[in-house]
Amino acid sequence: MFFWGVLGLAWVKLMLPWLLRLIQRIPWKIRHSLTAVCLALMLVDAAMTLMALDAWYSRMAGIEPDSPVMSFFNTYFNDDFMAERFQTMSLDPGKAGRL
């Protein structure tokens, strides 16, 4: 715990002011655009993750893919890939209900 306190103090006192000065050098319009691009990428990432989880659940429930999108997720995000990425997650279609 002591190490994390020292590391946090070093971050706040040494690195954060330097990083903020560096960010302030970027013009506002570019910063705003970069923030919007990062937000869009994060939203795409979240949507893809949720769709991959839905495809994984559907495979476990024995539901056949009914669209090209589901086929894409079944091909590129198969059970082994998902189990490796979400090691502590367990999906049991028998215990879950879908509307």
**Residue of 80, 78, 49 lying closest to 65 (CA atoms):** 78
Structural domains counted in the chain: 1
Considering the domain boundaries, does residue 3 fall inside one? no
How far, in Å, are 1, 15, 34, 36 from residue 27 at the CA level? 39, 21, 11, 14
Domain-located, residue 33: yes
pLDDT tens for residues 9-66?
999 999 999 999 999 999 999 999 999 999 999 999 999 999 999 999 999 888 899 9
Report the C-alpha gap between 43 and 65 in whole angstroms: 24
The structure tokens listed for 61 are 């429930």
What is the span of the domain harbouring residue 40? 27-85
Given this model, what pLDDT does residue 98 score? 66
